[in-house]
Amino acid sequence: MKKTIKDINFEGKGVLLRVDFNVPLKDGVVKDDNRIREALPTIKYLIERGARVCLCSHLGKIDFKDAEKTPKDMAKNDMKFVAPKLEELLGQHVYYVDEVYGSKVEETWANLKAGEVMLIQNTRYIKGETKNDETLAKELAKNKDVFVMDAFGSAHRSHSSTYGVAEVLKAEGKETALGFLMEKEVESLSKCVEASEHPYVAVLGGAKVSDKIKVIEALLEKVDKIIVGGAMAYTFLKANGVEVGNSRVELDQLDFAKTCLEKANGKIILPVDHVVADDFENPDVIKPSDINIDEGFMGLDIGDKTIELYKEALSDAKVVFWNGPMGVFEDSRYEKGTRSICEYLASLDSAFTVIGGGDSAAASKQFNCKEKFSHVSTGGGASLEMIENNGVLPGIEVIEDK
Ligand code: ADP
Ligand code: MG
């Protein structure tokens, strides 16, 4: 068992808290504050118990290879946009410093009192962050007594702020622990990893097979059924000899899809009908289609028969893991499949239902179902890797055992 914040006395301690403030921004405005809200229980727990807290997170991507892009990426992914939102949600002042380390950070930290919170600049402003650079890890660890990891969305990364800093502090004899969000994520996703309750059904969809090869392979070992929708379905259907028209197919994944279907021994369930259109953006014709899609048309959602087939397959499930929408749900013309499956999952009272995937989580919100799921993960990639690696993620492993 990993140490959690409940195992530590925080009175008078200086804590570095790694959170996941990698929130969607548009023109400097936080578009979805869910990840900030999810970090609040840990932040409040620490300050109520007499700690002073330095928060750090990455935000978006910074391209250091393209010298023209670097400053633009930095301007776009500036943590200063997150600070006011955090201050509003936390209900107390947040001392924001626009550098990751250096004299301003050190001065603010030295003056910070018990119960106060500071936030530093996007850790990815430092090139070495994603390479687990030791200099950055040491700077982050400087004058800290405890490292708390609560960034589930980054727990699959061995970066300076998720991994290296914990190693530095442990070597100095300092404490490390998981926060409440990490605990909740690990506990919920463990049910999908351990697969001790059956029927266990996975619902997979979204854009690409290639993104999800590893999770499909891992899930085949664990689940009773995999229901496939989204663009991913067309690669599988084509591998089965079905006519898919202009649907999005990954030709280089056809062999994988074939072997997968053979290995699956009937566990993989594919669409039997579709909603198709003659053009993605400006279609003249949108129509229902049976399993074989006409030349010149592309599948953009699962059809009505498939919806019924999938509901039936889910009806007695005890555990459901959902990753990837059933169609192009962002467009109301192709949302029905995702909406129907989402609403059905939300109505399954006796099943443990987990969403792992950014777009699937957004769909559950769009269809007002989010609250009815047992768990909606804050980390898409991290939740997939957790299943792929049988529960092992570097950001968890690096934390000391109790
Ligand atoms: P998640 O974030 O939940 O893991 P993905 O990122 O894999 O999901 O996929 C989400 C995207 O897949 C959505 O933007 C959706 O529009 C797209 N998508 C779903 N079905 C299709 C389809 N039939 N054709 C093209 N794109 C699709
Ligand atoms: Mg996505």
The residue extents of the domains of the chain are 5-183, 195-388
Q: Which of 359, 376, 386, 387 for mutating ligand 1's site (highest number of atoms within 8 Å of CB)?
A: 359
Q: What is the pLDDT of residue 187?
A: 95
pLDDT (mean) for 138-147: 98
Out of 60, 115, 381, 391, pick the active-site residue: 381
- Ligand 1 center from residue 24 Cα (angstroms): 17
Residue 337 Cβ contacting ligand 1 at under 6 Å: no
Q: Is the CB of 338 under 6 A from ligand 1?
A: no
End-to-end C-alpha distance for the chain, whole angstroms = 6
Rounded Cα–Cα distance for residues 164 and 271 (Å): 45
Which ligand 1 atom sits closest to the C-alpha of 358?
2
- 44: confidence class by pLDDT, cuts 50, 70, 90: very high
If 0-12 CB within 10 Å is exposed, 13-18 middle and 19+ buried, where does residue 25 land?
middle
How far is the C-alpha of 24 from the C-alpha of 265, rounded, in Å? 40
Query: Which is the catalytic residue, given 35, 157, 184, 225?
Result: 35
Which ligand 1 atom minimizes the distance to the CA of 234?
23
The sign of the torsion formed by the CA atoms of 360, 365, 368, 374 equals positive
Identical fold for domains 5-183 and 195-388, yes or no, is yes
Instruction: Give 297 Cα–ligand 2 centroid separation in angstroms.
Output: 24
Q: Select from 328, 336, 342 the residue to mutate for testing ligand 1; criterion: most ligand atoms less than 8 Å from CB.
A: 328
Is the CB of residue 356 below 6 angstroms from any atom belonging to ligand 1?
Answer: no
Residue 47: per-residue pLDDT: 98
* pLDDT confidence of residue 4: 98
Going by pLDDT thresholds of 50, 70 and 90, the confidence category of residue 328 is very high
357 CB under 6 A from ligand 1? yes
User: What are the residues whose beta carbons fall under 8 Å from the beta carbon of 397, sequence distance 6 or more?
Assistant: none
Task: Enter the tokens of residue 60.
Answer: 């978006």
SS (H, E, C) 150-162: CCHHHCCCCCHHH
Q: What is the pLDDT of residues 299-317, one digit of tens each?
A: 999 999 999 999 999 999 9
- One of 3.40.50.740, 3.40.50.1260, 3.50.50.60, 3.20.20.140 is the CATH number of 195-388, namely 3.40.50.1260
Of 153, 211, 203, nearest in space to 353 by CA:
203
Query: DSSP string of 334-400?
Result: G-HHHHHHHHHHHH-TTSEEEE-SHHHHHHHHHTT-GGGSSEE-S-HHHHHHHHHTTT--HHHHTSP
Q: Indicate if 35 belongs to the active site.
A: yes
Q: Ligand 1 within 6 A of 100 CB?
A: no
Residues 6+ apart with CB under 8 A from 391: 186, 189, 190, 193, 194
Q: Whose CA is nearest to atom 7 of ligand 1?
A: 206
Global pTM reads 0.94
Query: Out of 208, 305, 370, 372, which one is annotated catalytic?
Result: 208
pLDDT in tens, 144-167: 999 999 999 999 999 999 999 999
Q: What is the mean pLDDT of residues 336-350?
A: 97
50 catalytic per annotation: no
What CATH number should be reported for the domain whose range is 5-183?
Answer: 3.40.50.1260
Assign 382 a pLDDT band (cuts: 50, 70, 90).
very high
Give me ligand 1 centre to Cα 301, in Å.
10
Sheet of 319-323: strand order equals 268-269, 225-228, 200-204, 319-323, 352-355, 375-376
Determine whether the shortest distance from the Cβ of 44 to ligand 1 is under 6 A. no
